[in-house]
């Protein structure tokens, strides 16, 4: 059902003028919220709300039909029911509109009658060569162009990561978790039923989007898994792609068919095919955000040798559980590094485990000592990337300044895990991430972030991809 021909999505993401069908004057309706989203998001182009009975909504003049709009529009957002949507789409095609977002559900996810209706929608889109996002979609966001068209009015911090999501709810989950993690979003695409424009089309577009450097994907299923995997693999050779595939059990598979009308397919098959194409896969929304965050902030490591610095053993054990299956190696430290550690601590026989992971115990509580130990590990020729673990404490200042100084001097990838909560770590998060060092409060997220960096670092240098 999804088109395989090249499509131009630029008018959808960077329109100069838009029409919004179904704008009402009540906040409990989708049309009202999409108009509010467009205005609240700071769109600078021309906006033409359409409704046959209203005169003005949110300070904007309302037009009775698209034919009454005084000039051609680049794209349209249709906030009507599933039947009226097809009529509106026909009018868009006749008027030369260049792209459409269809929000309504009620298509193939509802059964046989919905399938017939969706076929009519697709036929209409193909008749006019119209790229259509949806139906059954939350909408899209282009933070790079101040164009917000979801029915959840938002303003997001800018960034380099773009997200493709089959689910509006999971899409919002990703967006809000990204906000918590201090990760800026560039574009969000809710593909919905993928009736006309699918995952591969969106990947094709983002591959050549200069404002996107990392792509995150949430997928339940697609009618063309082969094309999706091939496209994701090709794009991942140019910029990192991170995929979270849901629908692992049969009950979930049945539900996806009534959610977006897509069969989830074999989770293991998707995972294996994506791995064969060199795409990094994750198992949760939090892992998706963590991987994208690290890839957006840090350079790729030279190899897969990971060092861990800590003053408490538990988090490093959890990290290793995630790192080793992902192809990361916890290498031995050089003798020169061990000697440097002894000098930093001031003892030839310190009460410290002199190996990787380096557990400094109580001697690591002081920021200057911790920072010097981090620098010593970063200098080690057997360490391509360092994970630094430190626990939030009322009386001990988190060593953010010291870690950043070490990172700047040695110029190797660094991921920080301050074990605590965002209330206590927010200031340090902003300080470090402004300088490009990702901070996580959970060891699992830090380990997944490191695995993503190693995966694409290894792939970029022509090595064997990690089994991640």
What are the distances in angstroms from CA 339 to CA 71, 356, 368, 389? 75, 14, 18, 22
SS3 407: helix
230 three-class SS = helix
The answer to whether domain 10-292 and domain 299-460 are alike in fold is yes
Write down the domain spans for the chain: 10-292, 299-460
What gap in Å lies between CA 345 and CA 352, rounded to an integer? 9
Q: Are 323 and 330 in contact (CB under 8 A)?
A: yes
Task: Tell me what pLDDT residue 4 has.
Answer: 52
Cis ω before 135 (30° cut-off from 0): yes
Cut 0.95: pTM above it: no
Neighbours of 123 (CB within 10 A): 10
**What pLDDT score does 306 carry?**
98
Check residue 254 and give its pLDDT. 52
Burial zone of 354 (CB within 10 Å; 0-12 exposed, 13-18 middle, 19+ buried): middle
| 123 membership: H or E segment, kind and range | helix 112-128
Residue in 140, 123, 106 with CA at minimum distance from that of residue 261: 106
Here the tokens at position 68 are 């009454």
The predicted pLDDT at position 468 comes to 38
Task: Report the alpha-carbon distance of residue 437 to residue 404 in Å, rounded.
Answer: 8
Residues 6 or more apart in contact with residue 339 via CB below 8 angstroms: none
The DSSP bridge partners found for residue 51 are: none
| Residues in a beta bridge with 57 | 60
- Cβ-based burial of 13 (10 A; exposed 0-12, middle 13-18, buried ≥19): buried
449 vs 42, 125, 127, 294, CA distance in Å? Answer: 33, 40, 45, 5
pLDDT at 268: 81
- Tokens 């709300």 identify what position? 49
CATH architecture of residue range(s) 10-292: 3-Layer(aba) Sandwich (3.40)
| Predicted local distance difference test score (pLDDT) of residue 1 | 44
Q: What are phi and psi of 247, to 5 degrees?
A: 85, 55
Mean pLDDT by 10 residues, the chain (468 residues): 69 98 96 98 98 97 98 97 96 98 89 90 96 96 97 96 97 98 98 94 98 97 90 97 84 47 64 92 97 98 97 95 96 96 86 89 91 98 98 94 98 97 95 98 98 94 51
Tell me which CATH code domain 299-460 carries.
3.40.50.261
What are the structure tokens assigned to 194, written together? 């993928």
With left for phi above 0 and alpha for psi between -120 and 50, is residue 452 left, alpha or beta?
Answer: alpha
**Cβ atoms of 66 and 92 closer than 8 Å:** yes
Token pair of 188 as six digits = 């969000």
Cα–Cα nearest to 21, from 95, 98, 103, 94: 103
Task: State how far Cα 430 lies from the chain centre.
Answer: 19
């Amino acid at each position: 059902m999804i088109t395989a021909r090249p499509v131009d999505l630029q008018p959808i993401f960077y329109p100069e003028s838009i029409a919004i069908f179904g704008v009402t004057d009540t906040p409990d309706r989708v049309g009202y919220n999409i108009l509010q989203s467009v205005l609240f998001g700071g769109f600078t182009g021309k906006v033409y709300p359409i409704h046959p009975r209203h005169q003005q909504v949110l300070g904007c003049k309302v037009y009775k039909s698209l034919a009454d709009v005084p000039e051609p529009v680049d794209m349209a957002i249709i906030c009507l029911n599933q039947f009226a949507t097809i009529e509106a789409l026909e009018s868009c095609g006749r008027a030369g509109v260049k792209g459409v977002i269809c929000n309504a559900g009620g298509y193939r996810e509802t059964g046989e009658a919905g399938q017939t209706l969706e076929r009519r929608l697709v036929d209409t889109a193909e008749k006019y060569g119209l790229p259509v996002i949806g139906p059954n979609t939350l909408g899209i966001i282009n933070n790079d162009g101040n164009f917000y068209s979801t029915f959840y009015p938002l303003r997001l911090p800018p960034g380099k990561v773009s997200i493709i999501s089959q689910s509006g709810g999971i899409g919002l989950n990703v967006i809000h978790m990204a906000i918590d993690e201090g990760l800026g979003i560039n574009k969000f695409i809710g593909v919905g039923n993928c009736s006309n424009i699918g995952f591969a089309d969106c990947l094709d577009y983002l591959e050549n989007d200069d404002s996107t450097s990392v792509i995150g994907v949430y997928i339940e299923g697609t009618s063309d898994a082969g094309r999706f995997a091939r496209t994701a693999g090709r794009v991942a050779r140019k910029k990192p792609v991170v995929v979270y595939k849901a629908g692992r059990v049969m009950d979930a598979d049945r539900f996806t068919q009534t959610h977006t009308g897509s069969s989830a397919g074999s989770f293991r098959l998707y995972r294996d095919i994506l791995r064969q194409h060199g795409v990094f896969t994750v198992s949760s929304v939090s892992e998706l955000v963590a991987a994208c965050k690290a890839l957006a902030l840090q350079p790729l490591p030279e190899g897969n040798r990971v060092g861990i610095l800590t003053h408490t053993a538990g988090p490093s054990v959890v990290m290793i559980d995630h790192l080793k299956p992902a192809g990361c190696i916890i290498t031995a430290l050089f003798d020169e590094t061990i000697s440097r550690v002894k000098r930093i601590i001031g003892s030839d026989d310190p009460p410290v485990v002199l190996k990787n992971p380096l557990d400094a115990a109580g001697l690591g509580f002081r920021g200057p000592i911790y920072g010097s130990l981090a620098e010593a590990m970063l200098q080690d020729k057997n360490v391509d990337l360092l994970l630094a673990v430190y626990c939030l404490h009322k009386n001990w200042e988190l060593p953010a300044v010291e870690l950043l100084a070490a990172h700047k001097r040695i110029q190797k990838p660094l991921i920080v895990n301050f074990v605590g909560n965002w209330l206590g770590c927010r200031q340090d998060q902003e300080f470090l991430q402004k300088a490009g060092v990702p901070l996580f409060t959970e060891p699992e997220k830090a380990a997944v972030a490191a695995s993503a960096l190693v995966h694409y670092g290894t792939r970029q240098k022509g090595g064997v991809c990690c089994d991640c």
